[in-house]
Structure 1
């Protein structure tokens, strides 16, 4: 079980440091409904990662089980497609970065966060985790590893929980900080939000490129 966790840890960290959900939850924590919106977004974000990872793991587990030392071309091809998709998204992020004299802008939907209600915050958190192409591909790559590890049910659940927990840490920490020390959190989170906004494209480019190359390497190895 531990080797599966270690194999998926890079993907979990990649999801965890994705700037967009962190910025979104920080903006929610700066509204009058900070607690309700922040907690709702956090729960949905965690559940979305669990669902995306579990579905990918179950689908990969349906593939025919290879004999010892036998290649796995079907899973290898899937990994190559996922890796190529991650590299493509990384290239798009690099192309979208602001120029030296330009100001980074948040997605248009973020300007409406002030008016969100709890159900909408929940839906947004789940969508960013389970439907957003970037996170979906990263979760799918981890799910493929988990699904092919032939773990007992209890260990399977534990691995998915650990993976999702690590991936959700970056959203959990701002929420906990606001709940425990709200006065200190306000200024600190605003500074973090500004930095992440300015560097979103660069961060995501590096993450997607590293994960994409890693997934492609694993895919090639499955043809051997």
Structure 2
């Protein structure tokens, strides 16, 4: 179990560091008429992570991630290599799309509608961003492989998915819970964080995808030649 959790941690952190959901929830929290939408967004975010990861763990279990000797199948190593290459490709796209010096960062169009969301629509947005985001999906696929090849019991798999979900949700959960506890004290830090993420989200995502992409590609390549 410890080895599986250890391998899941960087993947969960990859979801944590995803800037756009954090920007979205901060915008909700700082807008009085949609403040309640922040909690709804968090609920959808957690549900999306848990559901997508669970489905991929079940798929990994059905396929079978280990050979009869207990070693990972060669096909698993190829999948990891492919995931790594895909992440590196996305990293290159993030780098080339970053704004030039002094230029304003371009955010997705949906961020402009965040301040008018109802709780129901906020929950739906949180679910969509967590479950259908390509960057996150790559993390979930990699997490499914890690859990699937870990030879865990059903209970162990549930614990692994729960730990992954709790850590992965922290990027959104921490601002929301901090705001609930002491709204006035965290307002200025949240505003500063939002501004910084808006300007630097492309660089943050680039570094994240680069590091995890190299790790996954290295594991996959090592499994293939080993």
Structure 2 residue matching 1:196: 3-state secondary structure: helix
Please state if 1:46 is matched with 2:43: no
CA distance in structure 2 between the aligned counterparts of 1:33 and 1:90, rounded to whole angstroms: 36
Q: Deviations over 1:5-63 (max 9, x none)?
A: 01110111111011111101101111224542111111111111112211222212222
Q: Is the CA contact (8 Å cut-off) linking 1:63 and 1:75 kept in structure 2?
A: no
* Structure 1: unaligned runs, 5 residues or longer: none
Q: Which residue of 1 aligns with 2:122?
A: 121
Offset of residue 99 of structure 1: 0.3
Q: Which residue of 2 aligns with 1:204?
A: 205
Q: Deviations over 1:155-211 (max 9, x none)?
A: 111110111101111211111111111111221111000001111011100100111
Higher alpha-carbon deviation: 50-59 or 16-25: 50-59
Q: Which residue of 2 aligns with 1:25?
A: 25
Structure 2 residue matching 1:222: 3-state secondary structure: helix
CA distance in structure 2 between the aligned counterparts of 1:27 and 1:193, rounded to whole angstroms: 8
CA 1:62–1:221 in structure 2 vs 1: closer, same or farther (change >3 Å)? farther
Offset of residue 141 of structure 1: 0.8
Q: Is the CA contact (8 Å cut-off) linking 1:66 and 1:72 kept in structure 2?
A: yes
Q: Is the CA contact (8 Å cut-off) linking 1:93 and 1:205 kept in structure 2?
A: yes
Q: Which residue of 2 aligns with 1:67?
A: 68
Q: Is the CA contact (8 Å cut-off) linking 2:34 and 2:116 kept in structure 1?
A: no
Q: Which residue of 1 aligns with 2:187?
A: 186
Q: Which residue of 2 aligns with 1:8?
A: 8
Q: Which residue of 1 aligns with 2:217?
A: 216
CA distance in structure 2 between the aligned counterparts of 1:196 and 1:155, rounded to whole angstroms: 36
CA distance in structure 2 between the aligned counterparts of 1:70 and 1:151, rounded to whole angstroms: 14
CA distance in structure 2 between the aligned counterparts of 1:165 and 1:34, rounded to whole angstroms: 25
CA 1:27–1:76 in structure 2 vs 1: closer, same or farther (change >3 Å)? same
* Structure 2: unaligned runs, 5 residues or longer: none
Please state if 1:87 is matched with 2:99: no
Please state if 1:163 is matched with 2:164: yes
Q: Deviations over 1:57-77 (max 9, x none)?
A: 221222244021656121122
Please give the TM-score of this superposition, normalised by the length of structure 1.
Answer: 0.95
CA distance in structure 2 between the aligned counterparts of 1:70 and 1:210, rounded to whole angstroms: 25
CA distance in structure 2 between the aligned counterparts of 1:180 and 1:103, rounded to whole angstroms: 33
CA RMSD of aligned residues (A): 1.4
Q: Is the CA contact (8 Å cut-off) linking 1:35 and 1:179 kept in structure 2?
A: no
Q: Which residue of 2 aligns with 1:134?
A: 135
Structure 2 residue matching 1:62: 3-state secondary structure: helix
